[in-house]
Structure 1
C-alpha cells in the first residue's frame, strides 16, 4: 500500500514541478470536454434552422370546378407557403427548379401538376382519382437534409389533404344538414308513406280480387253497352209511340173533363128534383097525421105515394147511371185518377136508392094494413114518415159531399192526370232529343271501356310483380326501422357543418404528455456525448501517459494500483470539467444536476478501470482494444438511435457494452430519475468495473512478459514506439 501511495504522490509531484507535463496534462483534462461541448452545441436545435434549407415550389395547377365553384388548390398552397417559414421556399418554374436541384442549390423540388385540382375535384365523380405531387430530392448533398425536406413535403401533403378533406366534408355535411332539415320537415309524410305501404301490403289480396272482378265487370259492361247500343232504334220507336199515347190520353182526359163539366149541371138539377120529391113526400106524410084518413081511400093514397117514390127512384137511377158512365169514361181515358171519389158517389147513390126503395115497399103495404088493421095504419104511416124523413137528410148529405168533395176531387185528379201526362210528354220529348247524345256517349264509352279493359288486363298481368315489390318494400321499411331510428338519422344528418368540417380537418388530436421533458435536441444528445468524451479522455490518457513504472522493487499489483490512481485523478478532473461545462457553459437543462455530476464521476471510474486495465495488461494491443470498444459502443449503445432500429449484430452486443448503461444512467439525471433504472445501471457498470479491476490486478504480472515480447518485436519494425 505504501508503494502504491508513493507512485501516486510522485506522479502528482512530477506533474506540478514539470511545466511541460503540467501543460500536457492540462490539455488532456480540457480536450475531451471540447469534444462533447462542440458536438452538443452543433446539435443544440438543428431543426430550428430548417428555414434556411432552400426548397423549390413549382405550381402548374390550372384549377377546376366543383359544383360550379372554381377551385385552385395549387394557388392556395402557394399563398399559404409564402407565409410559412419552416423552410426557405423558392417559387419558380420546372426547368429552373430541376437545374438548381441537380446542381445542389436546392435541396429538393416539389411540383404541383396542372391536373392537381381537377383530380381532387373528381371526388364527386363516379371514379375519383387521387391527386399527386412530384417530389425531387438531391440526397448527395447531405444525409440528413433529405429527411428534413421529405418531412416538409409530407407536411404539405398532409395540410392539403386535411384542408381538402375538411372542405369536401363541409360541403357534404352542408348537404346532409339540408337533407336532415328536409327529412325532419317531411317526417309526417314519410311516416304516412310507411303507413300507406303497410296498408297497401295488407290490402293486396283485396286489390287482386277487385282487379279480377273489375275485369269480369268490364267484360259484362262491354256486352251491356253493345246491347244498349242495339236497343237505341227500339228506344227511339218506343219514345215516339209513348208521345203518341200521351197525346191521345191527354185528348181523352180533356174530353172526359168536358163531359164532367157538361153533366155536372144535370146532376145538380136531378138532385134538386129528388130533394123536392122527398120534401113533398114528407109534407104529404105530415099532412096525413093531421087529417082523418079514410081507409076506403087507401088505394088512392098508395098510388099517390108510389108515383112520387117512382119519380124519385127514376131520378136517382139517372144520377147513378151518369156517375157510372163518368167512371167508365174516366177509367178508359185517364186510368184510375178520380175513380175512388166516383165509387164513393155511386155508393152514396146506391144507399139513397135503397132507402127510397124501402120507403116505397112500405107504401105498397098501406092498402093491406088498411084492410086488416086500422090501428096499425097509423103505425105504418108513422114508420113510412120516419123512413121518408131520413131521405132528405141523406139527400142533403149527398149534395153536400158531391159539391164539396166528389166534384172538386174528380176535377183535381183530372188536372193532376193532365199535368202528369204533360210532364211525361216533356220528359219523353227531352229523352227523344237526347237520344243522339246518348248514342254518341255509348259509342265513346265502348271505346273507353275497351281501353280500360286493356289497362285492367295490363294491371292484372303486372299484379304479381307489384305484389312482390310492395312486399319487398314493406320488408325493407320494417328492417330499416329495426336497424335504425329515422329520428336518430335526422339528428345525425342535422349536425353542424362547420363543426364537422373542423373535425375532419383534424379528426385526431394528439395530446402530448411529456413524462420526462427534454428542451431540445442538444439536451437529448448530452448524455451520449458526455459519456463519449469521458471514454475519449481515458483514451487520450493511455495514449500519452505511461501505465508502467520502471522500478525493479515494485510488484505488478503495486504498479497497477499506484499508476491507476494518477489516471483516475486526471479522469475525474476531465469529468468534472465536461459535466460542469454542460451545466454552466452550454446551459443544458438537467433534471438532477448534482446526480448528473456524480453519475459522471462513477462512469469515469468504470471507464478508467476498463481502458487502463486493457493497456496495463496488453500495452499497445490494449489501446487498440479500447479504440475498438469505442467504435462498437458508438454504434451499439443506443446513444444516437434506438437499439431496436440497429442491425441485429449491434442488438446482440448492446447488453455487453458499458456505454449502454452509462448513457442510460446519464439520461436519468438529464430527464428525470427512476431509481429502479439507476440501480440497474449501477449494478451492471459495477460488474464491468470489478471485472476490469480483477483482470488488471491479477493478470498484469502474469501476462506482462508476453506483452513485453510482443512490444519488443513490434518495435523492431520501426513503426511502433
Structure 2
C-alpha cells in the first residue's frame, strides 16, 4: 500500500509542477459541472415560459338562438383567451392560421367551428349533440411543444365545459328551486295522488270485471243494432202499409157514412110503415075482438091478418138487412183498423178504432135484438092467426081467448115498435154517426203519427248506422284496453309498490327541502365540483430542482468518463510496482480528482444555481459517496479491460440515462429498461440524491447506500483480484490494436 501512496503522491506532484497538466486537470474538474449546471438551468422552469409559444385561434362560431336568447360561446371564449397569458394566443382567420402552423410559425391552431354554439344549444333538445373544437398541431417542430399546446387546448375545452356545466346546472337548479316551491304547495295533491294510486290498485280487479262486462254488453248492443238496422226496411214498409191502410179505412168510413146518410131516410120510412102497420094490426084485432065472429069468414080474417103480418115482417127484415150491412161495414173497419201492420207502425198506441166499431155494433146488435123481438111477436101473431084458421072448426070456443091474446101481442108489438122508432131516432142513428166521426178523427190522428214516424225513420237509420260504427270503434277500443290491461295492471302495482318503498325510504319533505337549495351556490359547485386540496409531502419548487439529482449524478459519471478518456490508468516504469500497487496508486489519483469534481458540482448546485435542497450537507456527502462508487466502477472497468472497459462504461452510461428512472417513472419505461433498472448504479444514486433534495427518509437512504456500496465493493474486488490475470490475457489484444495505428 506504501507504493500505491507513492504513486499517488507522484501524480499530484506532476500535476502541480506541469502547468499544462494542471490546466487539463482543471478543465476535467470544471467540465462535468458545466454539463450539470447548464442542463439544470435550462430545465429550471420550462412550463413557466409557455406564454411565448405561439398558438393560433380561429373563431368561426356563428352563434345560436336558445329559448329566444342569442348566445355566442365562441366570442366569449375569445374574450377569455385575450385575458389569458398561458400561451401566446394569435387570433387570425383559418387560412392564415393553417399556413402559419404548416410552416412552423405556430406550434398549434385551435379552430372554433361555425356550429359551436348551435351544438351546445342542443342540450335542451331530445337529442343533444356534443360541440367539437378542431385542434391542429405541427409535431415535427419539437417533442415537448405539442404536449404543452395539447394541454392548452384541453384546458380551453375544460374551461368551456366547466362554464357550460355551471351555467346549465344553474338554470337546472333554478328550475329545481321553483319545482321545490311548487311541490311544497302541491303537497296535498301529491298525497291525494298517492291515495288515487292505491285506490286504483285496489279497484283494478273490479275495473277488469267491468271491462269484460262492457265488452260483452258492447257485443250484445252491436248485435241488437245490427238487428234493428235489419228491421228498418220492414219498419219503412209497415209505416207505408199503415198509412195506406189508414187512408183506405178513412175512405171506407166516409163511404159508410155517406151510405148511412143515404139509407137513413129509407130506414125512417120503413120504421114509420112498421109502426103504422103495427097500429093498424092492433086496431084490426081490437075491432075483431069486439065483433061477433063469423067463423065462416075465419079463413078470410086469417088471410088478412097474415098479409098484414107478412108485410110487417118484410119491413122488419129490410131494417135488419140495413142494420146488418152497417154492422158489416163496422166489422170490416175494425179489421182494417186493428191489423198488425197498423199496430207495428203505431207501436203500442191504443187504437180507438178498435173501440168505436164495437160501440156501434153494440147499438146495432141491440136494435137487431129488438127487431127480432118484434118479428117474433108478429110471427107469433101470424102463428096464432093460422091457429085460428086451423083450429077454427075444432076450437071455436077458444077463439075469443086467442083473439084476446092476439090483441095483447099486437098492442105490445105496437108499443115496442114505437119505443124502437124513438130509440133509433134518438140513440142508434146519432151514436152510429158520432162513432163514425170519432173513427175518422182517430184515423186522422193516427195518420199524422205515422207520417211523423215515417219522417223520423231516416234519422233513426242514420242514428243506428252511427251507433253501429261507434259500437264497432268502442268494441275495438275495449279490446285494445283489455289487451293493455295486464300491462297497466303491472305498472299500477309497480307504481304503488314503488310509492310504498319511497314512503318507507324517503320523506318527500326532505326532497322538497333538497330542491329548494340556492341555485347560485349549486352553480358554483358544479363549475368546480371537486377542489384539489394538494398536500406536498416533499415539495419541489420547480422542474429544475426536480431534475438536479439526475443531472448531478449524470455529471459525476461523465466526469469519470472524461478522466479515463484523457488520463492513463497505468504508469511508466510499471516494472517497479506490482499490478495491484499500480491499480490502487492510480485509483487514488482518479478518486481525488473525482471528489473535487463532485464538490464543485454539488456546491455549484447549492450556491451558484441556487437549487432549493432540503438537506444541503447530506446532498454534498451523498454526492461524494456516489463519486467514489462511480469512480471505482469506471476506473476498474478501464484498468482491468482497457479500451473494452471504456466502451463498457459508455454503454453503461447510455443504458442508465434511459433505464434509471431519472427523467420518467420506471413504470412508464419499456419492459427491457424496467428489467435492468435494479442492476444500474444510477437507479440508487439518483434516488439517494433525491432524498437530500426533497427530504430524507432514512430507510430509503440506507437502501440506496447499501446497493451503491455493493457496486463499489464489487468493482474494488474485481480490480484487486482479477486485474492481473485479465491484463495478462488482454495484452496481446491491446498490442494488436496499437499496431493498427488507430488506438493509443
TM-score for both structures, normalised by structure 1: 0.65
Per-residue CA deviation, residues 18-70 of structure 1 (Å, 9 max, x unaligned), is: 22211111111111101100000000000000000000000001011222222
Distance 1:195 1:454, change over 3 A: farther
Report the alpha carbon displacement of residue 618 of structure 1 after superposing the two structures with TM: 1.7
Rounded Cα–Cα distance in structure 2 between residues aligned with 1:209 and 1:705:
113
Q: Which of 508, 511, 515 matches 2:537? A: 515
Rounded Cα–Cα distance in structure 2 between residues aligned with 1:200 and 1:713:
107
Rounded Cα–Cα distance in structure 1 between residues aligned with 2:595 and 2:131:
61
Distance 1:207 1:116, change over 3 A: closer
Rounded Cα–Cα distance in structure 2 between residues aligned with 1:612 and 1:501:
67
Alignment of 1:570 with 2:593, yes or no, is yes
* Structure 2 partner of 1:536: 558
Distance 1:147 1:208, change over 3 A: closer
Report the alpha carbon displacement of residue 200 of structure 1 after superposing the two structures with TM: 4.8
Report the alpha carbon displacement of residue 158 of structure 1 after superposing the two structures with TM: 1.1
Report the alpha carbon displacement of residue 550 of structure 1 after superposing the two structures with TM: 1.9
Is the 1:108–1:135 contact (alpha carbons within 8 Å) kept by the matching residues of 2?
yes
Is the 2:204–2:489 contact (alpha carbons within 8 Å) kept by the matching residues of 1?
no
Rounded Cα–Cα distance in structure 1 between residues aligned with 2:18 and 2:703:
43
* Structure 1 partner of 2:497: 479
Distance 1:67 1:577, change over 3 A: same
* Structure 1 partner of 2:96: 96
Distance 1:210 1:581, change over 3 A: closer
* Structure 1 partner of 2:704: 681
* Structure 1 partner of 2:20: 20
Report the alpha carbon displacement of residue 14 of structure 1 after superposing the two structures with TM: 1.4
Rounded Cα–Cα distance in structure 2 between residues aligned with 1:197 and 1:611:
88
Is the 1:194–1:477 contact (alpha carbons within 8 Å) kept by the matching residues of 2?
no
Report the alpha carbon displacement of residue 124 of structure 1 after superposing the two structures with TM: 1.9
Alignment of 1:717 with 2:740, yes or no, is yes
Coordinate RMSD, CA, aligned: 3.6
* Structure 1 partner of 2:580: 557
Alignment of 1:599 with 2:619, yes or no, is no
* Structure 2 partner of 1:77: 77
Per-residue CA deviation, residues 377-436 of structure 1 (Å, 9 max, x unaligned), is: xxxxxxxxxxxxxxxxxxxxxxxxxxxxxxxxxxxxxxxxxxxxxxxxxxxxxxxxxxxx
* Structure 1 partner of 2:568: 546
Alignment of 1:137 with 2:137, yes or no, is yes
Is the 1:122–1:129 contact (alpha carbons within 8 Å) kept by the matching residues of 2?
yes
Is the 1:537–1:574 contact (alpha carbons within 8 Å) kept by the matching residues of 2?
yes
Report the alpha carbon displacement of residue 518 of structure 1 after superposing the two structures with TM: 0.6
SS of residue in 2 equivalent to 1:56: strand
Distance 1:203 1:454, change over 3 A: farther
Per-residue CA deviation, residues 678-708 of structure 1 (Å, 9 max, x unaligned), is: 1111111111111111111122222223333
* Structure 2 partner of 1:644: 667
* Structure 1 partner of 2:119: 119
Describe how 1:373-392 pairs up with structure 2 within 5 A: none
SS of residue in 2 equivalent to 1:670: helix
* Structure 2 partner of 1:169: 169
Report the alpha carbon displacement of residue 476 of structure 1 after superposing the two structures with TM: 3.8
Report the alpha carbon displacement of residue 454 of structure 1 after superposing the two structures with TM: 11
Per-residue CA deviation, residues 494-550 of structure 1 (Å, 9 max, x unaligned), is: 333223222222223222221111110000000000000001111111111111122
* Structure 2 partner of 1:150: 150
* Structure 2 partner of 1:237: none
Is the 1:201–1:470 contact (alpha carbons within 8 Å) kept by the matching residues of 2?
no
Distance 1:453 1:603, change over 3 A: same
Rounded Cα–Cα distance in structure 1 between residues aligned with 2:515 and 2:181:
8
Moved more, 40-49 or 610-619: 610-619
Is the 1:204–1:467 contact (alpha carbons within 8 Å) kept by the matching residues of 2?
no
Q: Which of 629, 654, 657 matches 2:652? A: 629
Per-residue CA deviation, residues 219-249 of structure 1 (Å, 9 max, x unaligned), is: 9xxxxxxx9x989999xxxxxxxxxxxxxxx
* Structure 1 partner of 2:181: 181
Rounded Cα–Cα distance in structure 1 between residues aligned with 2:607 and 2:732:
48
Q: Which of 684, 692, 695 matches 2:718? A: 695
Rounded Cα–Cα distance in structure 1 between residues aligned with 2:725 and 2:206:
116
Distance 1:209 1:682, change over 3 A: closer
Rounded Cα–Cα distance in structure 2 between residues aligned with 1:456 and 1:178:
46
Is the 2:737–2:743 contact (alpha carbons within 8 Å) kept by the matching residues of 1?
yes
Report the alpha carbon displacement of residue 199 of structure 1 after superposing the two structures with TM: 3.5
Report the alpha carbon displacement of residue 480 of structure 1 after superposing the two structures with TM: 2.5
Q: Which of 642, 645, 653 matches 1:619? A: 642
* Structure 2 partner of 1:194: 194
Distance 1:23 1:176, change over 3 A: same
SS of residue in 2 equivalent to 1:135: strand
Report the alpha carbon displacement of residue 122 of structure 1 after superposing the two structures with TM: 1.4
Describe how 1:358-507 pairs up with structure 2 within 5 A: 461=478, 471-472=489-490, 474-484=492-502, 485=506, 486-507=508-529
Moved more, 102-111 or 181-190: 181-190
Per-residue CA deviation, residues 83-139 of structure 1 (Å, 9 max, x unaligned), is: 000000000000000011111110000111101111111122222221111111111
SS of residue in 1 equivalent to 2:111: strand
Rounded Cα–Cα distance in structure 1 between residues aligned with 2:667 and 2:716:
31
Rounded Cα–Cα distance in structure 2 between residues aligned with 1:527 and 1:670:
7
Distance 1:205 1:596, change over 3 A: closer
Rounded Cα–Cα distance in structure 2 between residues aligned with 1:207 and 1:567:
104
Is the 2:55–2:109 contact (alpha carbons within 8 Å) kept by the matching residues of 1?
yes
Is the 2:201–2:496 contact (alpha carbons within 8 Å) kept by the matching residues of 1?
no
Report the alpha carbon displacement of residue 208 of structure 1 after superposing the two structures with TM: 8.5
* Matched length: 514
Rounded Cα–Cα distance in structure 2 between residues aligned with 1:586 and 1:567:
27
Rounded Cα–Cα distance in structure 2 between residues aligned with 1:189 and 1:454:
39
Rounded Cα–Cα distance in structure 2 between residues aligned with 1:107 and 1:709:
57
Q: Which of 608, 612, 617 matches 1:585? A: 608
Report the alpha carbon displacement of residue 474 of structure 1 after superposing the two structures with TM: 4.2
Is the 2:197–2:496 contact (alpha carbons within 8 Å) kept by the matching residues of 1?
no
Alignment of 1:36 with 2:36, yes or no, is yes
* Structure 2 partner of 1:662: 685
Rounded Cα–Cα distance in structure 2 between residues aligned with 1:8 and 1:209:
116
Is the 2:599–2:624 contact (alpha carbons within 8 Å) kept by the matching residues of 1?
yes
Report the alpha carbon displacement of residue 493 of structure 1 after superposing the two structures with TM: 2.9
Is the 2:569–2:638 contact (alpha carbons within 8 Å) kept by the matching residues of 1?
yes
Is the 1:104–1:141 contact (alpha carbons within 8 Å) kept by the matching residues of 2?
yes
SS of residue in 1 equivalent to 2:192: helix
SS of residue in 1 equivalent to 2:731: helix
Rounded Cα–Cα distance in structure 2 between residues aligned with 1:168 and 1:104:
39
Q: Which runs of 5+ in 1 are unaligned?
A: 220-226, 235-438
